[in-house]
Amino acid sequence: MSNFDPNSVGLKSNNIFGLPFSKEESALVLLPVPWEVTVSYRTGTARGPENIFNAAMQVDLYDPDVEGGWEKGFHMLHIDKNIRTKSDYLRQCAELVISHMVEGGDVADNAQLSEKLVDINNGGKMLCDWVHEMTSDLLKNGKKVGLIGGDHSTPLGFIKALSEIHPEFGILQIDAHADLRIAYEGFTYSHASIMYNVLTTIPQVKKLVQVGIRDYCDEELEMINSSNGRINTFFDRDIKTRQFEGETWKNICNDIIAALPEKVYISFDIDGLDPKLCPNTGTPVPGGFEAEQIFYLFRLLHASGKQLIGFDLNEVSSGVHTGDGIDAITGARVLFKLCNFMVA
């Protein structure tokens, strides 16, 4: 630190955001999870962690919301190439399964595809267990933890690890999608099933507060309506209507925060934002938020005194579809804000 200049260029020889902290020196450790086996539309998010890392070198370290937050130390672990290789292989298998289904075929009638489906679901279980082990070790060593996906299936093991420490907590989900589908496309650990899996396997999650949802199915709406208040969804349409009719974003944010318990985990799917900020994400949907709207929500959440116990940032793609790289740039700035509020 004695030789580190926070106003100079970010050095890749250092770590995330150009910071010179080791894992041991850092208050917050980030786990990259390069996994996108079950994405439904477009690929690229498995390369999200490395692209965010590269873009993070351009993020200035001054944050008016949490001045000097970086001084507590942020460190991103190395990307596990074995996990990414496994993802790449199983993604090819998933594409065959999805293609067969889209063409009207029944996977159960095809022995080869049925075997691939089993391999995919076993791979999802493997990843969940790996994430659980990695994050559990970090938490036991007194680290605050954030996860960088990958697709939205990636944080299940992390949320399970947190449930072993915190008897009850809530999730603030920023997302275009409800992610409440049951084994979507036959994939038990689908990115579209993450919140269903959380709610059905982790009873410590007492409340799910969803913000920005604007693409969902009847089955998911029924789960929301029959949840007896465990799921509180602030649909994008309803938020916009309230704003069109004169309500302030501050009032809406206060309602969102009031719905959360004292301990909060943030699950941030980048497609919750306006797709102009993340045009290459797997399933972009018109609508959504400006980044500063969500940062304002985070400021009010922090001011409320509620405790942030962890977060994930996912579905940040690599810019392969348009080549402009705005996704990683947006992702890096969202990540920096999450990191700062995590240590505030």
Q: Which tens digit of pLDDT belongs to each residue from 74-95?
A: 999 999 999 999 999 999 999 9
Q: Which residue has the tokens 């080549």?
A: 323
Q: In this predicted model, what pLDDT tens digit does every residue of 94-133 receive, in sequence order?
A: 999 999 999 999 999 999 999 999 999 999 999 999 999 9
Mean pLDDT over 243-256 rounds to: 98
Show the tokens assigned to 119.
């391999």
Closest CA to 184 of 33, 37, 35: 37
**Per-residue confidence (pLDDT) for residue 40, from 0 to 100:** 86
Mean pLDDT over 228-253 rounds to: 98
Per DSSP, helices labelled H in 12-75 are 48-55
Closest CA to 167 of 265, 242, 263: 263
Domain boundaries along the sequence of the chain: 27-343
Percentage of the chain beyond pLDDT 90 is 92
Q: How many other β-carbons are positioned within 10 Å of the β-carbon of residue 225?
A: 10
Q: What CATH number matches the domain at 27-343, 3.30.470.20, 3.40.50.1000, 3.40.800.10, 3.30.1780.10?
A: 3.40.800.10
DSSP label at residue 161: H
